[in-house]
C-alpha cells in the first residue's frame, strides 16, 4: 500500500460541507458495495439513487418495469432490500439522503423499520427524504397520484418526521429541476419557495405554534449551481437572505437557517468534448462553496460523461476528488464572507431576491393545483427561449456552437449491457421478490393493506399504516396499489398543450402531411426534450400526436396504429433504450406496421446508437444533436409511410 493510502483522512471537524456522490444501481448488494467503495474514498454521506420502478411505485415484476430494473438506481422493494442496502453501515452515524418523492413515505418507513431491527433509535437518524412532488409534475416526471393525494402524503410525512424522527429533514424543496428545465435564478428560487410556503400554509392549520416552529426549522432545500458565476453566487446569497426574511414575515419565526444540499447543473454538460465537463463541474461547484455565509450543507457532483451514460466508479471517484481539492487545497474555507460590501454582488442579490419573492407569492396565491399549471407553462416558455438563444449563438457552449472538434483525451464509456444480460438482472430480482412473497406472512400484509386503504379513504393519517405495511413485509408496489385504489388511480400530467397555435409551412411528402407520435417510453419522466421537439414539429407544420410519458412499448405502438402515424419518436433517458427498441420494432412488425419509422432520442452511448440502427431504428438523437431544426429536418426526410406497402400488407393479412 502506498504512503498516501496509509495516511490518515483529514479530520471531519475541518469539513464545512458534507461530500456526497449520487449513487445506486442494480440490487441492494451491488449498490452497497459501491457505497462502501465511495465511503473509503472520502465520501461523508450517502445520496441514494433509486431505480425508476421504485420511484414510480412498481415492483420489478410489473410489466412496465421491463428494461428499467436497477438501471438508473438501486431496486428496493421491501425492508429486507433496505437492510441489505445498508449492510455494514451504521445508520446512527451516517447521513443518508434519499432522492425519492412519490413513494417517499414508504421508503422512509422501510428505513425506519431497518433501524428498529438494528436497535437504532429514530432520534439518532440523520438524513433527508426529497418528498417534493411539485417539481415532479412540472419537470422530473415521477409523480404517481393525483396532485391532491400527493400534497396530502407530502405534508403528512413532514408532520410525522418532525414529531417522531426529529433530526431528519422530511422534505427537500427542490429548485434543482426548475433550473434544469430552463428557469433562471429568480424563477428557481421563486418556484422553490412558493412550494415551501404552500406546504407550510397547509401544515399551519394542524400544528401548535411550537410544532410549527420546529417544522419550519426542519424544511431543507436542494438547489442547482450553474456555470454563470456572478448570477449564481448572487442566487445562492438570495436563497439564504430571502428564506430568513419569509420565515420572519410570514410565520413570525426568527433566525431560521437556510439549509440546503446541491448538485451542480447537468443541463450544461455536453456530449461533445466531454473532457470540458470536468472544468464546468469544478467551476459550478464554486458559487455554493466560496462564501462561508452562503454555503450549502452538502454537495454532490455528477459524472463528467453524464450526457453519454450513467457514471461508472472512476467518474464517481473523480467527482469526489474534485470536491476534495476544492475543500482542502484551495483554502476557501479559511475565510468568511468574501463578497460582503461588493456593490455588484449585493445589488444583484437584492434584485434576484425581490423577483423571487414576487414569484413565490404568486404561486402561494394560486394554490397548489393551479401553481402546477403556472410553473409548467413558464418552464416550457423559458426552456424554448434558452434553446433558441443557444442555436442563435447568444449563449456560447464550448464544443457545441463554438470551438468545435473533439479533444480525444477521454475514452468512450463502455457499451450498455445487452438485452439478455439486462433481462437476467431483472429475472434475478423477480425471483428474489417471488421468494420473499412466499416466505412472509401474507395474511399480515393483507391486513396492513386493508387498514392503510381504509385510513386513506377516510382522510386519516397514512404514515402509521405505511409503517405497519413495511413491518409486515409489504412491497413498494403493494403500497402504491393500495393508495391507487382510493385516489382515482394513477395520474399523468400533460406533456404540452397540443392545441397551441403553430406557425410555419406544413411538412409534406408525396402530398401527405407528415404525422408524428411523440412521447416517453419507459419510466423516466424527464420531458424537456419532448416538449421542445413537440413544439418544433408543430411549428414546422407536422401533425403531432402526444403519446404521453411513462409508456410501455405496447402502449406506444397502440397509439401509433390508432393515430395512423408515419413516425414514432421515442425518448428514453435511463438506459432502457435497447429493450424499448427491440420490443417496439417487434410489436410493429407483428401488427403489420413495420413501415412506421421509429426514431429514438436520449442518453445513448455511441456503441448503442449503432446497435439501434442495426435493429431498424431509422435515426438516433443524443444531446450532441442540439439544433432542433436539424432534428425536425431529419424526421421530415424519412417521409410518410408507403401507401403501396400498407395496401400490400392489408391484402396479405387474411392469408397469414
Q: Which residue has the higher pLDDT, 308 or 3?
A: 308
Cβ neighbourhood burial of 146 (10 Å; 0-12, 13-18, 19+)? middle
User: What average pLDDT score do residues 623-629 get?
Assistant: 84
Of 325, 307, 303, 305, residue with least CA distance to 316: 303
Higher pLDDT, 38 or 194: 194
Q: Is the predicted pLDDT of residue 453 greater than 90, yes or no?
A: yes
Rounded to whole angstroms, the Cα distance separating 413 from 315 reads: 10
Q: What is the pLDDT of residues 494-529, one digit of tens each?
A: 665 544 433 344 455 555 689 999 888 878 777 788
Q: What is the pLDDT of residue 188?
A: 98
Task: Evaluate whether 532 touches 561 at the Cβ level (below 8 Å).
Answer: no
- Which residues neighbour 632 within 8 Å (Cβ) at sequence distance 6 or greater? 507, 533, 536, 537, 540, 542
Cross-strand bridge partners of residue 457:
none
- Bridge partners of 515? 543
Query: Is residue 627 very low, low, confident or very high in pLDDT (cuts 50, 70, 90)?
Result: confident
Task: Answer yes or no: is pLDDT of 355 > 90.
Answer: yes
Query: Which residues sit opposite 519 in a β-bridge?
Result: 570
Using CA atoms, how far apart are residues 58 and 281, in angstroms rounded to an integer? 33
474-502: per-residue pLDDT in tens? 999 999 999 999 998 898 776 655 444 33
Average pLDDT on 23-30 reads 91
Give residue 612's pLDDT: 95
- Provide the pLDDT for residue 391: 86
For residues 541 and 513, the answer to whether their CB atoms sit within 8 Å is yes
What's this model's pTM, rounded to 2 decimal places? 0.89
pLDDT score recorded for residue 4: 37
pLDDT of residue 551: 83
211-243 pLDDT, tens digit per residue, is 999 999 999 999 999 999 999 999 999 999 999
For 320-383, the DSSP string reads HHHHHIIIIIS-GGG-S-TTTT-HHHHHHHHHHHHHHHHHHHHHHHH-HHHHHHHHHHHHHHHH
Q: Which is higher by pLDDT, 312 or 500?
A: 312
Higher pLDDT, 583 or 497: 583
Q: Taking residues 386-402, what's their average pLDDT?
A: 90
**In this model, does residue 2 exceed pLDDT 80?**
no
Q: pLDDT (tens digit, 9 = 90+) per residue, 524-570?
A: 777 788 888 888 898 888 999 887 778 888 998 999 999 999 999 99
Q: For residue range 254-284, list pLDDT tens digits in order.
A: 999 999 999 999 989 998 999 999 999 999 9
What domains can you pick out in the chain, each with its CATH number? Answer: 12-391 (3.20.20.240), 423-481 (no CATH), 508-655 (3.40.50.280)
Q: What is the pLDDT of residue 329?
A: 96
Distance of CA 354 to the CA centre of its chain: 28
SS3 259: coil
Mean pLDDT of 414-433: 75
Q: What is the mean pLDDT of the chain?
A: 89
- Residues 307-326 have a mean pLDDT of 88
Using the predicted structure, report yes or no on whether residue 415 has a pLDDT greater than 80: no
Q: What is the mean pLDDT of residues 129-157?
A: 94
Instruction: Quote the pLDDT of residue 508.
Output: 56
> Which of 38-47, 305-314, 608-617 shows the lowest per-residue confidence on average (mean pLDDT)?
305-314
Whether residue 633 is predicted with pLDDT greater than 50 in this model: the reply is yes
Higher-pLDDT residue of 595 and 520 is 595
State the pLDDT at residue 647. Answer: 42
Task: Judge contact between 45 and 38, C-beta under 8 A.
Answer: no
Give dist(CA 160, CA 172) in Å, integer: 15
Whole-number Å distance between alpha carbons of 525 and 422:
21
Averaged pLDDT for residues 589-599 = 94
- Measuring CA to CA, how many Å separate 161 from each of 47, 128, 345, 462, 463? 19, 10, 37, 13, 10
Q: 595: how many CB neighbours lie within 10 A of its CB?
A: 17
**Measured CA distances, 401 to 273, 396, 439, 604, 652 (Å):** 12, 6, 58, 21, 50
The per-residue pLDDT for 251 is 97
User: Are residues 527 and 495 in contact, defined by beta-carbon separation less than 8 angstroms?
Assistant: yes
Query: Which residues partner with 48 through β-bridges?
Result: 23, 98
- When pLDDT is cut at 50, 70 and 90, the band that residue 574 belongs to is low
Mean pLDDT of the 137-150 span: 92
| pLDDT at res. 655 | 38
3-state secondary structure 49-78: EECHHHHCCCCCCCHHHCCCCCCCCECCCC
Amino acid at each position: 500500500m502506498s504512503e498516501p493510502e496509509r495516511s490518515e483522512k483529514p479530520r471531519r471537524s475541518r469539513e464545512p460541507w458534507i461530500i456526497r456522490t449520487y449513487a445506486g444501481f442494480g440490487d441492494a448488494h451491488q449498490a452497497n458495495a459501491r457505497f462502501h467503495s465511495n465511503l473509503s474514498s472520502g465520501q461523508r454521506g450517502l445520496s441514494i439513487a433509486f431505480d425508476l420502478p421504485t420511484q414510480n411505485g412498481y415492483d420489478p415484476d410489473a410489466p412496465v418495469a421491463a428494461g428499467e430494473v436497477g438501471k438508473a438506481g438501486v431496486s428496493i422493494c421491501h425492508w429486507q432490500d433496505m437492510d441489505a442496502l445498508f449492510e455494514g453501515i451504521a445508520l446512527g452515524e451516517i447521513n443518508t439522503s434519499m432522492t425519492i418523492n412519490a413513494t417517499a413515505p414508504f421508503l422512509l418507513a422501510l428505513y425506519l423499520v431497518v433501524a428498529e431491527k438494528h436497535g437504532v433509535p429514530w432520534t439518532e437518524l440523520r438524513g433527508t427524504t426529497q418528498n417534493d412532488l411539485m417539481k415532479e409534475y412540472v419537470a422530473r416526471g415521477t409523480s404517481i397520484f393525483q396532485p391532491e393525494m400527493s400534497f396530502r402524503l407530502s405534508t403528512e410525512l413532514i408532520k410525522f418526521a418532525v414529531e417522531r424522527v426529529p433530526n431528519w429533514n422530511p422534505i427537500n424543496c427542490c429548485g434543482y429541476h426548475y433550473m434544469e428545465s430552463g428557469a433562471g435564478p429568480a424563477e428557481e428560487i421563486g418556484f422553490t419557495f412558493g412550494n415551501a410556503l404552500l406546504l407550510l400554509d397547509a401544515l399551519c392549520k394542524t400544528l401548535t405554534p411550537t410544532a410549527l416552529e420546529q417544522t419550519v426549522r426542519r424544511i431543507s432545500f436542494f438547489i442547482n449551481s450553474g456555470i454563470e458565476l456572478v448570477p449564481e453566487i448572487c442566487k445562492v446569497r438570495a436563497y439564504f437572505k430571502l428564506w430568513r426574511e419569509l420565515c420572519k414575515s410570514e410565520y413570525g419565526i426568527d433566525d431560521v437557517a437556510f439549509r440546503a444540499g446541491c448538485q451542480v447543473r447537468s443541463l450544461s454538460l455536453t456530449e461533445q468534448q466531454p473532457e470540458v465537463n470536468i472544468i464546468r463541474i469544478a467551476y459550478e461547484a464554486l458559487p455554493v462553496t466560496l462564501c462561508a455565509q452562503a454555503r450549502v450543507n452538502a454537495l454532490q457532483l455528477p459524472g463528467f460523461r453524464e450526457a453519454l451514460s450513467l457514471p461508472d466508479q472512476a467518474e464517481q471517484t473523480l467527482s469526489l476528488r474534485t470536491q476534495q481539492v476544492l475543500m482542502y487545497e484551495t483554502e476557501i474555507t479559511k475565510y468568511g464572507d468574501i463578497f460582503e460590501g461588493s456593490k455588484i454582488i449585493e445589488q444583484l442579490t437584492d434584485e434576484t431576491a425581490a423577483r423571487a419573492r414576487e414569484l413565490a407569492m404568486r404561486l402561494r396565491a394560486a394554490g397548489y393545483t393551479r401553481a402546477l399549471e403556472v410553473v409548467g407553462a413558464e418552464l416550457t416558455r423559458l426552456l424554448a427561449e434558452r434553446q433558441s438563444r443557444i442555436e442563435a449563438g447568444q449563449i456560447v457552449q464550448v464544443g457545441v456552437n463554438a470551438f468545435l472538434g473533439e479533444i480525444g483525451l477521454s475514452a468512450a464509456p463502455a457499451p450498455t449491457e445487452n438485452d439478455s444480460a439486462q433481462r437476467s438482472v431483472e429475472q434475478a430480482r423477480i425471483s428474489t421478490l417471488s421468494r420473499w412473497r412466499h416466505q412472509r406472512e401474507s395474511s399480515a400484509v393483507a391486513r396492513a393493506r386493508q387498514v392503510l386503504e381504509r385510513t386513506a379513504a377516510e382522510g386519516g393519517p397514512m404514515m402509521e399504516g405505511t409503517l405497519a405495511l413495511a413491518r409486515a413485509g409489504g412491497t413498494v408496489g403493494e403500497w402504491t396499489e393500495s393508495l391507487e385504489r382510493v385516489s382515482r388511480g394513477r395520474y399523468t400530467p400533460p406533456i404540452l398543450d397540443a392545441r397551441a397555435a403553430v406557425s410555419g409551412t406544413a411538412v409534406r411528402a408525396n402530398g401527405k402531411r407528415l404525422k408524428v407520435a411523440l412521447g416517453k417510453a419507459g419510466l423516466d419522466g424527464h420531458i424537456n426534450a419532448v416538449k421542445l421537439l413537440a413544439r418544433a414539429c408543430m411549428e414546422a407544420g407536422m401533425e403531432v400526436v402526444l403519446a404521453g410519458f411513462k409508456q410501455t412499448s405496447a402502449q406506444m405502438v397502440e397509439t401509433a396504429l390508432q393515430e395512423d402515424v408515419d413516425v414514432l419518436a421515442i425518448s428514453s433517458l435511463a438506459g432502457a433504450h435497447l429493450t424499448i427498441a427491440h420490443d417496439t420494432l417487434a410489436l410493429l412488425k407483428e401488427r403489420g406496421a413495420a413501415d412506421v419509422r421509429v426514431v429514438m432520442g436520449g442518453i445513448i452511448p455511441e456503441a448503442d446508437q449503432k446497435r439501434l440502427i442495426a435493429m431498424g431504428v431509422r435515426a438516433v438523437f443524443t444531446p450532441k444533436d442540439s439544433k432542433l431544426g436539424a432534428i425536425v429536418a431529419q424526421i421530415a426526410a424519412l417521409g410518410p409511410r408507403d401507401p403501396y406497402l400498407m395496401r400490400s400488407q392489408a391484402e396479405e393479412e387474411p392469408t397469414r
